[in-house]
Amino acid sequence: MPFLGLAFFKASSAKYFVNTVLVKPMFSIEQIFKSSSNPTYVKDAYGKIVWANLAYAQLHRSNLEQLLEKGAIDFDFSYERDLEVIAADDECKIEEFFKLEDGRGAWFLTTKKTIVQPNGQRLLLSTSAEITNLKESLQIAENSFSAKEKFLADVGKELDAPIHAVISLVKLLKKTFINKDQKRYLNSLLSISDYLLEVPKDILEYTKLESGALDFGTEVTDIVEFTQNVVRVLSLKATEQDVVIHFSEPIAKIPLVELNPAHLNLILVKFINCAIRYTKSKDIVVSVFQKERIEKVLYLQFSINNLGLDQSFDEFEDFFNSENAFTNDELDKNSRFDLGVYTCKRLIGLQGGKVWFESKMGQGTSIEFVLPFSVNDKPVSDSSSRYLQPEHLKELKLLLVDDNESCQSLVRYQIQNWNSRLDVASRGEDAVTLSSKQKYDLILMDIEMPEMDGLRATSLIRNSNGPNQNTPIVAFTGTSGNFDPVRFKEFGFTDFLKKPYHAFDLFLCISKNTGQQVKDRYSQREKFEAEEVPLYDFSGLGDMAQDAVFIRKMQKLFVDIVPGQLAKLQQAVAQKQWETVSLVAHSLKSTYGNIKVVKAAQAMRRVEEISNAKTNYHELDGLLDIISDETQKVVNVFSEELSLHA
């Protein structure tokens, strides 16, 4: 708020007041604020009130004369903040809630600003404007959106079960003896089923767009790898419809940029799915390259090429090349385009980008779009560690906790081509039991479940001494009304994933929370598996290796004792009892070494080294996996041989 010629002086009544002349001398700042309904006061550098208007006194149920005489109100919750604002010589805006004399609650937007006098004296001016109606309107809008979000999540759940039933039947039919036309019809059914699964998500994104509820936060990302991973995830599903998606690497290196992953993911997924649905070439090429750079802004062009469209080209071209937003009637006329594609077109425009449809002689047709990104020139640690590659996905061990069968089917469907292991628990109690026995890389935990909900189950897992005490747990929820990330973290959640979601959202969530750990484990496994050695070898026992009875006793002891010792070791690692880890590892190292279970012995030696040095704990999960796998192989072989000689 601008002030001209602001001057404070001490009146004969020993009170301070403002006497500031604006454009016309007959109006002073004191006169304006004195009669204003906005509570206003002035404090000195010591936090004493030197001037206030009647509205401020009434708000605090005080007598103005007494307030000014005392220089303070009875309960001044702003005292510390006011001193900070004066010291910082800055402006501060906050929202405050007060209980009025009539019992009504009221919200105020308060602006506090430091005023420095010509003589160096520092004063604080604070004025408040009531915003109760605005807050109530925003709350109504937020509640309305939350209700829509919950409704769409419920609709999605209702659609999931029958649509997945159709998908399962189609896949079974495709494995039978069918002709070319029948295969084409079944592929169309798969395409339609996928489209129906996306409808609730598309409506939700459109609602966010129209209500202005979109999050435009950004993070530093390798755009090439991001796009490549979207293509990789969609390629797995495209193969079901006999469509192959290729990613074309850019010739010139693209620097790291700041982007909103949710928005770019949505755009790429919808446009590529649109291409899969309408292409006749069965061969799609996705590419990204630098179009232009203006200082710190990088304009990147994305291309989804080789659509191989038929006579409907004009309809596609009109839709994508139109500069104006379509009305509802126009959207109805363009029935070939789903709401998600329209939302993405709008989203590109909001970010200052452009989308169009292009046809080149001999090069097919394509959807093209350009988006601006801020270049990040700061050195960043290996950003690629955020994403999992196909060879890493088979390393994943996931636990899904959800009482809804359709949600279980959806997750299975989305990760079916990852070759990841997925255990499912339908109740919170089952999740706690499973997590006490088996180490997982990630737990997807539904919030609303009967009897024991996700919050309680997560809290029990975190407070246990089980192997998943520190495992990432993701709040897997579709209940927007009760969504509170801070509260979830208090219960022990690492992250959250809101339903409905796209397959790539799930991929990003898993990569974000398990990426480096799974990659380390994969590297260790590669290193050990590179050495081709026998599973076991009794030759180190000397002459006893020829004694069949003795060998059977050794096998029996291994089967009966080693798995239990290994379980004890895993529990000690989970509880960070490093002395116990060292003792058990030393004992097992000798056991494996005696019968030359080489890979397990080498891994156990490394476990012992880590427990003694108390460093490099991140290697333990991978090492224990190798040991468990080798142990299970030996147990299986020994058990089979023992049963044959029983």
Distance in angstroms (rounded) separating the CA atoms of residues 169 and 409: 14
Alpha-carbon radius of gyration of the chain? 33
Question: Which of 266-270, 495-499, 513-517, 527-531 has the highest average model confidence (pLDDT)?
Answer: 266-270
- If asked whether residues 540 and 481 sit together in one domain, one would say no
- If asked whether residues 493 and 583 sit together in one domain, one would say no
Q: Is residue 607 part of a domain?
A: yes
- If asked whether residues 37 and 125 sit together in one domain, one would say yes
Distance in angstroms (rounded) separating the CA atoms of residues 213 and 208: 5
Q: Is residue 413 part of a domain?
A: yes
Q: Is residue 488 part of a domain?
A: yes
Choose among 513, 520, 508: nearest CA to 221: 508
Percent of the chain beyond pLDDT 90?
3
Tell me the two tokens of residue 603.
Answer: 């891994």
Distance in angstroms (rounded) separating the CA atoms of residues 635 and 633: 5
Q: Which residue has the tokens 């070898």?
A: 537
- If asked whether residues 443 and 556 sit together in one domain, one would say no
Q: Identify the pLDDT of residue 369.
A: 92
Where does the pLDDT of residue 382 fall: very low under 50, low under 70, confident under 90, or very high at 90 and above?
Answer: very low
pLDDT digit string, tens, across residues 168-200: 777 778 778 888 788 777 877 777 777 677 767
Picking from 130, 156, 182, the residue at the C-terminal end of a domain is: 130
**How many CA within 13 A on the CB side of residue 91?**
6
Picking from 107, 130, 153, the residue at the C-terminal end of a domain is: 130
pLDDT digit string, tens, across residues 451-483: 888 888 998 998 888 888 888 898 877 655 455
Peptide bond before 39: cis, by omega within 30 degrees of 0?
no
CATH number for the domain that contains residue 632: 1.20.120.160
Q: Is residue 155 part of a domain?
A: no
Q: Identify the pLDDT of residue 371.
A: 92
Whether 538 has a pLDDT exceeding 90, the answer reads: no
DSSP calls for 227-240: HHHHHHHHHHHHGG
- If asked whether residues 538 and 480 sit together in one domain, one would say no
- Characterize the bridge pairing of strands 219-221 and 257-259: antiparallel
Tell me the two tokens of residue 508.
Answer: 């990003």
Q: Is residue 382 part of a domain?
A: no
Choose among 184, 181, 272, 176: nearest CA to 227: 272
CB 442 within 8 A of CB 474: yes
- If asked whether residues 537 and 429 sit together in one domain, one would say no
Whether 131 has a pLDDT exceeding 80, the answer reads: yes
Work out the mean pLDDT of the chain and round it to a whole number: 77
Where does the pLDDT of residue 403 fall: very low under 50, low under 70, confident under 90, or very high at 90 and above?
Answer: confident
Q: What are the φ/ψ torsions at residue 52 (nearest 5 degrees)?
A: -155, 155
Q: How far is CA 285 from the centre of its chain?
A: 28
Where does the pLDDT of residue 506 fall: very low under 50, low under 70, confident under 90, or very high at 90 and above?
Answer: confident
What 3-state class would DSSP assign to 610? helix
Q: Is residue 136 part of a domain?
A: no
Choose among 418, 288, 256: nearest CA to 353: 288
Question: Which of 18-32, 205-219, 222-236 has the highest average model confidence (pLDDT)?
Answer: 222-236
- If asked whether residues 489 and 538 sit together in one domain, one would say no
What is the helix (H) or strand (E) element at residue 354, kind and residue range? strand 354-360
- If asked whether residues 14 and 125 sit together in one domain, one would say yes
Whether 215 has a pLDDT exceeding 70, the answer reads: no
Where does the pLDDT of residue 523 fall: very low under 50, low under 70, confident under 90, or very high at 90 and above?
Answer: low
Q: Identify the pLDDT of residue 26.
A: 40
- If asked whether residues 536 and 501 sit together in one domain, one would say no
Q: Is residue 312 part of a domain?
A: no
Percent of the chain beyond pLDDT 70?
74
Q: What are the φ/ψ torsions at residue 423 (nearest 5 degrees)?
A: -100, 145
Q: Domain range holding 507?
A: 390-527
CATH number for the domain that contains residue 467: 3.40.50.2300
Other C-beta atoms within 10 Å of 329: how many?
7
First-to-last C-alpha distance (Å) of the chain: 94
Where does the pLDDT of residue 302 fall: very low under 50, low under 70, confident under 90, or very high at 90 and above?
Answer: very high
- Alpha-helical (H) ranges within 98-238 are 132-174, 180-211, 223-238
Whether 585 has a pLDDT exceeding 80, the answer reads: yes
CATH number for the domain that contains residue 45: 3.30.450.20
Q: Identify the pLDDT of residue 522.
A: 59
Choose among 582, 580, 561, 563: nearest CA to 627: 563
Q: Which amino acid is at 156?
A: G
Cα angle 624-626-629, degrees, rounded to a multiple of 5: 105
pLDDT digit string, tens, across residues 164-175: 667 777 777 877
Q: Is residue 248 part of a domain?
A: no
Picking from 76, 108, 130, the residue at the C-terminal end of a domain is: 130
- What is the mean predicted confidence (pLDDT) over 529-550? 73
| Number of compact structural domains in the chain | 3
- If asked whether residues 23 and 102 sit together in one domain, one would say yes
Q: Identify the pLDDT of residue 89.
A: 75
CB 234 within 8 A of CB 354: no
- If asked whether residues 518 and 410 sit together in one domain, one would say yes
- If asked whether residues 513 and 481 sit together in one domain, one would say yes
pLDDT digit string, tens, across residues 593-609: 888 888 888 888 888 88
